[in-house]
Structure 1
Amino acid sequence: MMKKAASILLSAGLILSFSPVQNTEAAAKVKVVTYKNCTELNKVYKGGVAKSSTTKNKGGKTKYKPFAHKALYDKNTKSDRDKDGIACER
């Protein structure tokens, strides 16, 4: 009985830790800044900034996953040279 209760609590904890609510909370805390260039933006966001989490890279292989945040992308659209919805992808 004790093992079953511990198993249920552990499962519930894991499910809640991967909740999409935390991702939206992290995205809500992002400071929307216009970066001077891709070097400056990549210091903070290694993979660049995507318009949405479903945006696909059209420019080829990348090393890092872009951070999805529409308002931040909108402020830095000038840095999206290939117009694929990801600014400064690497």
Structure 2
Amino acid sequence: MMNKLSKKVLPALLACSIVLLPVQSTEAAAAKFKNCTQLNKVYPGGVAMNATVKNKGGETKLKPAISASVYNSHKGLDRDKDGIACER
């Protein structure tokens, strides 16, 4: 049977393990890419700031992923400043 210490320690350990579970999402797990070649391996069409931006650089073959947080961390890769980083 459980003693008094076990009854207090077990719930505390469970609470800690729940709090320490990592959050998994595409934006939380987004890496910092050094260049467009690396970014395009994960996001083949590039990354758009939002769904309303339009490409200024001409015809593209692939539709960009939409993620404000990924775009904001890679603004330097948006050479034509149209709101889409590394479009292809």
TM-score, with length taken from structure 2: 0.68
Percent of aligned pairs with the same amino acid: 56
User: Gapped runs of 5+ residues in structure 2?
Assistant: 1-23
Superposed CA RMSD in Å reads 1.2
| Residues 50 and 85 in structure 1, CA contact (< 8 A), matched pair in contact too | yes
Q: Which has the higher helix share?
A: 1
Aligned structure 1 segments of 4 or more residues deviating by more than 3 angstroms: none
Residue from 25, 28, 51 that aligns with 1:29 = 25
Name the CA distance, whole Å, in 2 between partners of 1:45 and 1:76. 12
Residue from 38, 41, 56 that aligns with 1:40 = 38
Partner of 1:54: 52
Q: How many residues align?
A: 63
Partner of 1:65: 63
| Residues 33 and 75 in structure 1, CA contact (< 8 A), matched pair in contact too | no
1:4-23 matched pairs, under 5 angstroms: none
TM-score, with length taken from structure 1: 0.67
Name the CA distance, whole Å, in 2 between partners of 1:32 and 1:77. 14
Amino acid at match of 1:29: S
Give how far 1:32 is off.
Answer: 2.6
Amino acid at match of 2:31: V
> Partner of 1:33: helix, strand, or coil?
coil
Partner deviation per Cα, 1:8-61 (whole Å, 9 max, x = no partner) = xxxxxxxxxxxxxxxxxxxx8212322000000000000000000111101100
